Amino acid sequence: MTTQTEPARPDSPRSDLRFLILGAGMSGILTAIKLREAGLNDFAIYEKADRLGGTWRENEYAGVACDVPAHMYTYSFAPNPEWSNRFAAGAEIQEYFEGVAHRYGIDELIQYGKEVRRCEFVDGRWHVELSDGSTDVGDFVIAATGVLHHPAYPDIDGVDDFGGAAFHSARWDHDVPLEGKRVGVIGTGSTAIQIVSALVDRVAELSLFQRTAQWVMPIENPAYSEEEKAEFRRRPEAMEEIRAEVTKVFTERFANILGDAESPLLEAIHTACEENLENSVKDPVLRERLRPDYRAACKRLIMSEDFYEAIQHPNANLVTEEIERIEAGGIRTRDGELHELDVLIFATGFRVDRFMRPMEVIGRDGVTLEDAWRENPSAYMAITVPSFPNLFMLNGPNGPVGNFSLIDVAELQFSYIMQLIEQVRSGSCRELSASQEALERFDSERKEAAKHTIWASGCKSWYLDSDGIPAAWPWTFDRFREEMDKPHLDDFETR
Ligand code: NAP
């Protein structure tokens, strides 16, 4: 559908604003709900897949769960008394988003099977082209396209030579039987650790190919009893209390300290991980092979109640020898050994620098996002890029990522974006994006602060950009909240 109206004069309030929401994952659903709440009903939601849910639709691997407590990983306005456990499984989270989208009447508005291929800013409005050949025009683009979205496959010789079934964790092939099979998992990130725990006693043999050991923070995952759930239904404040408590602990004892590698609280986290390793792994040789040589929380911290138990299971085999190549029969390591496998799982992460891309995005004066992000993706306050007016991102580059509730992050970001939209709605301006000067200042302060973060303390991870600088929000989470509270309009170029 195409809506063509002349842009209004800057001094007249607007009641004709149209919004194009890209993606129907957690952030896209949030955007639609919040726009409606603000009385902004003219929007389209474009989703390339045939289901909503974003990351929770894509990740159906064995053991998929969220290691952020469920009552925190929930929209603040849609508490869920039905969470089964302290930490929810992926399928349950997917069901939650489907339920919320249905309750708010958003699901029927989503246009499925429509991938946005191109967005161009022409005469003050965004013109988009979709994979089915249709077009649309809107005043704002809200990119809710996700961060960990494009699977990364390992650069290993013979990666296509494997004779059995092989797939990426985010492209799980449910048709491949795993029972009684020899299964190999490459990677030791949060995904691989969940897979290993879930599969070890289902398969004949599970080989975990570890390039880098991980620190593991112990967690407990008790189920909520029927009485507790009944109490949540009767008294929703009980869920709010849990959320407030968990958020407070998480903010003060984790999110606020990542920017200060010298924080004693980080030392305490390190000690807790060391104790977990000492107390959980009996064999001293295996223990040393599982011991990382960098500080805890330098990479995204693994939260697990059972990984160490799983890796000591008789079916488990930890392979620390470097992979030489993949062959038809399995994985050959540098010591010459062939680890024979029936199934190979790539838990090798994502191309985290993609964001909206490969979509072609053309801003003011023909500037492309590809050009703007040639070195590394960056966005003022993780939300706006100069020369791309009225295009705002949720969970864009430089935001708080990692062991965070990205729902919390997206809600804070949307309240900021809403204030920018209000500038246009009220007639203060027609277009706004961060100024070049503001982005440069933000970027140089961000990179300076990044040097002091735990992520820069001597390990490799997906947090680092192509120059080796942590790209995530390097300050405290409290500062993020403060920044999101109110935009500094002086940092915006308006027309
Ligand atoms: P990841 O953290 O990027 O881990 C990728 C793994 O693959 C690493 O262990 C890496 O080894 C390994 N790898 C990559 N290329 C390799 C190669 N050529 N040879 C050997 N090993 C190779 O990916 P992920 O585990 O999918 O997690 C990504 C993010 O998703 C997480 O950090 C988290 O933010 C999110 N996530 C969240 C949850 C949750 O519960 N909330 C669960 C899963 C994922 P190196 O370490 O040596 O590079």
For 342, phi and psi rounded to 5 degrees? -100, -30
Percent of the chain with pLDDT over 90: 96
User: What CATH architecture is 165-215+259-346?
Assistant: 3-Layer(bba) Sandwich (3.50)
> Does the pLDDT at position 7 exceed 90?
no
Task: Decide: helix, strand or coil at residue 19.
Answer: strand
196 C-beta closer than 6 A to ligand 1? no
Indicate the pLDDT class of residue 10, thresholds 50, 70 and 90. Answer: low
Span 159-179, mean pLDDT?
98
Nearest to 443 by CA among 383, 395, 476, 398: 398
- Tell which phi-psi region holds residue 436, choosing left (phi > 0), alpha (psi between -120 and 50) or beta: alpha
For 98, phi and psi rounded to 5 degrees? -65, -40
**Residue where the block lists tokens 């990205």:** 406
259 C-beta closer than 6 A to ligand 1? no
User: Over the chain, what is the mean pLDDT?
Assistant: 96
Indicate the pLDDT class of residue 185, thresholds 50, 70 and 90. Answer: very high
- The best mutation among 156, 186, 307, 409 to test binding of ligand 1, ranked by most ligand atoms within 8 Å of the C-beta, falls on 186
Indicate the pLDDT class of residue 404, thresholds 50, 70 and 90. Answer: confident
Rounded CA separation 306/201 (Å): 12
> Does the pLDDT at position 5 exceed 90?
no
The residue whose CA is least distant from atom 15 of ligand 1 is 154
The residue whose CA is least distant from atom 36 of ligand 1 is 190
Q: How far is the CA of 193 from the centre of ligand 1 (A)?
A: 9
Span 311-333, mean pLDDT?
98
Residue 153's pLDDT is 97
Cα–Cα–Cα angle for 401, 445, 361, nearest 5°? Answer: 60
Indicate the pLDDT class of residue 463, thresholds 50, 70 and 90. Answer: very high
Q: How far is the CA of 147 from the centre of ligand 1 (A)?
A: 13
Cα–Cα–Cα angle for 216, 211, 298, nearest 5°? Answer: 45
Span 274-280, mean pLDDT?
98
Indicate the pLDDT class of residue 11, thresholds 50, 70 and 90. Answer: low
208 C-beta closer than 6 A to ligand 1? no
Residue 53's pLDDT is 98
Indicate the pLDDT class of residue 12, thresholds 50, 70 and 90. Answer: confident
Range name among 8-22, 109-123, 159-173 with the lowest pLDDT average:
8-22
> Does the pLDDT at position 165 exceed 80?
yes
Rounded CA separation 447/216 (Å): 28
- Asked if residue 21 lies in contact with residue 394, where contact means CB atoms within 8 angstroms, the answer is no
- The best mutation among 185, 211, 344, 403 to test binding of ligand 1, ranked by most ligand atoms within 8 Å of the C-beta, falls on 211
146 C-beta closer than 6 A to ligand 1? no
188 C-beta closer than 6 A to ligand 1? yes
- Asked if residue 200 lies in contact with residue 313, where contact means CB atoms within 8 angstroms, the answer is yes
Nearest to 255 by CA among 3, 54, 481: 481
Task: State the amino acid at position 12 in one-letter form.
Answer: S
Residue 3's pLDDT is 39
Percent of the chain with pLDDT over 70: 98
Atom of ligand 1 nearest to the CA of 192: 25
213 C-beta closer than 6 A to ligand 1? no
Task: State the amino acid at position 362 in one-letter form.
Answer: I
pTM above 0.85, yes or no: yes
Q: How far is the CA of 299 from the centre of ligand 1 (A)?
A: 9
156 C-beta closer than 6 A to ligand 1? yes
Residue 2's pLDDT is 36
Q: pLDDT by residue (tens digit) across 203-216?
A: 999 999 999 999 99
Indicate the pLDDT class of residue 9, thresholds 50, 70 and 90. Answer: low
| Domain ranges across the chain | 19-150+351-494, 165-215+259-346
Indicate the pLDDT class of residue 344, thresholds 50, 70 and 90. Answer: very high
Residue 97's pLDDT is 98
Intrachain domains 19-150+351-494 and 165-215+259-346 with the same fold: yes
Atom of ligand 1 nearest to the CA of 401: 34
Rounded CA separation 44/354 (Å): 23
State the DSSP H helix or E strand holding residue 492, giving kind and residue range, or none if neither: strand 492-494
- Asked if residue 255 lies in contact with residue 400, where contact means CB atoms within 8 angstroms, the answer is yes
Indicate the pLDDT class of residue 418, thresholds 50, 70 and 90. Answer: very high
Span 461-470, mean pLDDT?
96
User: What CATH architecture is 19-150+351-494?
Assistant: 3-Layer(bba) Sandwich (3.50)
